[in-house]
Amino acid sequence: MRSSPLKLLCVLISAAAVRADAPANAAEPPAPIDALAAMTTVGPWARQAPPQAYGQDNLWEYIDGAASLFVSYHFATMATATYKAEGVRGVLTVDLYQLPDDLHAYGLYARERAPDVTLEKLGAQGYVTGPACRFVKGRYYAKLALAPPPKEPREHLLLVARDLSSRLTGSDDIPAVLSVFPMHRQMPNTAVFVAADLLGQSALGSGFLVDYDLGLEDPSRVFLHLDATEDGARHAFDKFREFAARRGKDLQPLPGLGDEAFTCDQPYYGPTIVVRHGKAMGGLARSPDTAQGRRLLAQILTRLAAYERSLAHHRL
């Protein structure tokens, strides 16, 4: 039996699944340790020792303080290797993570991306900042760092990063589901996929956060959870409404938006609109006014429907 487009979308977002729009005969992506084992030299940079691999059970041995974030995105495995170049100051460390799908890889990358970085055409997306370079491609998230940094680290980082990217399989595009968020007034580099506990609410599970400049002192924040079932989305909506009733004030129904919606005033986010439509549940925090927030959320729901139709078309 053919799965519905929205169910396919939810599998993509919520579980360790292959991308819904990937070719059925796509080659199995190489493990990180194999990719780094094959990368012995890049220009003047030569690997110093065989790469080391880590999994969810022992990542703490390598990055103790940050391991929990990587585990929350269900990374499958990672490998690390160091490189040196004659006459160039510093040691180049390359860390390569493999995630269950493109969306989790992008999500982990985006969680560590600062809003003010300048993006490079590197994999699906990447950047260089000081002595560090990071990029995402398909199911991979790569982190490169030079320490102590040479005088001009950028050219060295990009040289190795581009060589590594060419060795990896997967899409050179960010996940298409991000197209549901309008670019107008979207703040640069703020679109994030959160693997669990969206807005700190366990009932919401995974979802998206995207900031918009709607004229307030602080950014307005869109949040969107796409559930596997309509009952699941309704449960998340009801739990958030219960939370808003306990912690917020001025909770009022908002007819005419999605299947059900309400407005409230939250202690941290201020005026907030919350909506459920089908298997989607989300809202706008720090909404400047109900009319403007309503228009943005309605546009997102319309674009989500278009994305679902696109998925259906590609599955035919």
CATH code of the domain covering residue 52: 3.40.1000.20
Q: Is residue 5 part of a domain?
A: no
The pLDDT, as a whole number, for residue 316 is: 64
Q: Are residues 299 and 191 in the same domain?
A: yes
Predicted local confidence at residue 18, as pLDDT: 38
Residue 8 lies in a domain: no
Give the residue from 167, 198, 230 where a domain finishes.
167
Residues 31 and 148 in one domain: yes
Residue 23, pLDDT score: 41
Identify whether residues 150 and 231 lie together within a single domain: no
Last residue of a domain, one of 122, 137, 167: 167
Residues 212 and 163 in one domain: no
Inside any domain, residue 10: no
Number of domains the chain contains = 2
232 plus 182 within the same structural domain: yes
- Note whether 66 and 122 are same-domain residues: yes
The answer to whether residue 185 sits within a structural domain is: yes
| Domain that includes residue 302, residue range | 176-315
DSSP string, 57-114: TTGGGTSGGGHHHHHHTT--EEEEEEEEETT--SEEEEEEEE-SSHHHHHHHHHHT--
Longest dimension (CA), the chain: 68
Q: Report if pTM > 0.85.
A: yes
Domain shared by 161 and 188, yes or no? no
- pLDDT < 50: residue spans in the chain: 1-25
User: Which of left, alpha, beta for 132 (phi over 0: left; psi -120 to 50: alpha)?
Assistant: beta
Residue 17's pLDDT is 37
pLDDT value of residue 26: 52
155 and 239 share one domain = no
Q: Are residues 159 and 220 in the same domain?
A: no
Whether 14 maps to a domain, the answer reads no
Residue 4, domain member (yes or no): no
* Distance in angstroms (rounded) separating the CA atoms of residues 94 and 29: 18
Contact 177, 59 (CB under 8 A): no
Residues 157 and 29 in one domain: yes
Classify residue 107 by burial, with Cβ atoms within 10 Å: 0-12, 13-18, 19+.
buried
- Cα separation of 239 and 44, whole Å? 57
Do 153 and 77 share a structural domain? yes
Given a contact cutoff of 8 angstroms between Cβ atoms, the answer to whether 276 and 291 are in contact is no
User: In this structure, are 285 and 190 located in the same domain?
Assistant: yes
85-141 confidence digits (pLDDT tens): 999 999 999 999 999 999 999 999 999 999 999 999 999 999 999 999 999 999 999
Final residue of a structural domain among 132, 167, 202: 167
> Does residue 67 lie within any of the structural domains?
yes
CB 118 within 8 A of CB 127: yes
